[in-house]
Chain A
Amino acid sequence: MSKGLAFDKLREILLEKDWEEREEFAQKLSDLDDQLNSRNRLEEKIQPILDDERESLRHRFPDLFGPQITETISKQIRESQDEVVEALYPILGRMIKKYITSEIEKLSEKVDEQMKLAFSWEAWKIRIKAWFTGTPQKNMIISKLIEPKIEEIFIVEKQSGMLMGSFSKNHSVDQEMIAAMLTAIKTFVEDAFKSETQELDSIDYDNYKIVIKNFKSFFIAVVTSGGMSMAFRDKLDDTLLDFAEKVLRKAKDADEEVKQERITSGLEQYFDNFDKNE
């Protein structure tokens, strides 16, 4: 064997494995290059990862970016108040218009009802009353349209806030909780203003007015809706005083259950037809 041939043989023996590996690497590199430079194949590989990330971000978005978004919006509103008003104006305008339209429709329906009754005994009563009292007839009709109504009455022990009896037209609220909360509100207001002799006597909420009549050991809270007139308030005060004297005083010494029963039936007797007699 010549020297050159022997050297070639030796090189082949020594480097054969390296060549195989090099070819394998070259193939892998070519595949990778193909994957990276071919959009479809790259998408195929990366899309599941992106989908997972997007899904995870969707869930964590409020936590991750909530404060920054809130801050940005607040800043934008602060800095561009005119633009915000301009953007909101049409929406608010439409909402207000819709509300007013609906209220006018309701009023119109009620006026229609009244007009139908124009020659009824009720209408003549209003005319005569208007003539005697000097109140314009239209005012009397309007006050009739928004006449006050009693919705609920709670008789509540003053210090404990325990419900002694109640009257309700719709029984939609937890009366014991309301009685306790009213006591807490009363206590808070009276404490806050350190008024030993003055007591909270009314709370206004939306279309409701809660009239509170204070007695020594209890208070009566009357929830009314509609427009509260002086005549209604007077009549309510008189009826509550009469009720307190005739029903509550007698029920005072009875045991808890009997007391509650007597008060509740007394309330029904006094207030079931209260609005109708108005």
Chain B
Amino acid sequence: MNKKVILVGHFGVGKTSLVQQFVYSKFSEKYLTTIGVKIDKKVVEFDGYQMTLLIWDIAGETEQNSVSKSYKLGSHGIIYVFDLTRPSTYENLDKQLDYLKTLLPNAPIQILGNKKDLISEEELNSIKESIPLSFKATSAKTGEHVEEAFIDLAKAML
């Protein structure tokens, strides 16, 4: 079973680092901006199923509608990433998600608040209170909840 997953969100939120952590179990402090799109592949196994994820890591933009929609078309699942340390990356989350839901009505969305390793539990709780949507707090650096996030999305795409 093959599925196309796209990673979207503002630039510098850690989309590429999440993919690197998930696919290669690696993390680098260096920031290299993604140009266009980068594609990776990983086979995941869960509950007796085997699924090949083709992960399209799409270059970040502040507004989703300014990214080429052609890269997103045909996706089976979406991972929307924001940066827990930069409120500007989750301020208009509703609007961004509405756009994606309209474009890909059947694709489940997994929302990730990345860079958990850089904030305290109190700060995380306060962010959770300020965002009305449920999200998973991840750290591409330590790998916390990264694999879990992709597997949860894979299950939702079944």
Chain A residues close to B by CB (< 8 Å): 157-163, 174, 176-177, 180-181, 184, 187-188, 190-191, 256
Contact = CB atoms under 8 A, between A and B. Distances in A.
A160 B75 contact: yes
A184 B74 CA distance: 12
A180 B56 contact: yes
A187 B71 contact: yes
Given A176-B52, A184-B36, A161 B4 contact: yes
A187 B68 contact: yes
Given A176-B41, A177-B39, A184-B39, A157 B52 contact: no
Overall SS of chain A's interface? helix
B157 interface: no
Contact of A160 (B1, B37, B74): B74
Interface of B: 1-2, 4, 36-37, 39, 41, 52, 54, 56, 68, 70-71, 73-76
Contacts of B76: 160
Contacts of B2: 162-163, 176, 256
Given A176-B2, A176-B52, A187-B68, A162 B74 contact: yes
Contacts of B41: 174, 176-177, 180
Nearest to B41: A177
B144 to A, nearest CB: 28
A148 B112 CA distance: 49
A207 to B, nearest CB: 25
Contacts of B37: 184, 188
Nearest to A190: B70
A180 B56 CA distance: 9
Nearest to A178: B39
Contact of B36 (A158, A188, A190): A188
A160 B68 contact: no
A256 to B, nearest CB: 7
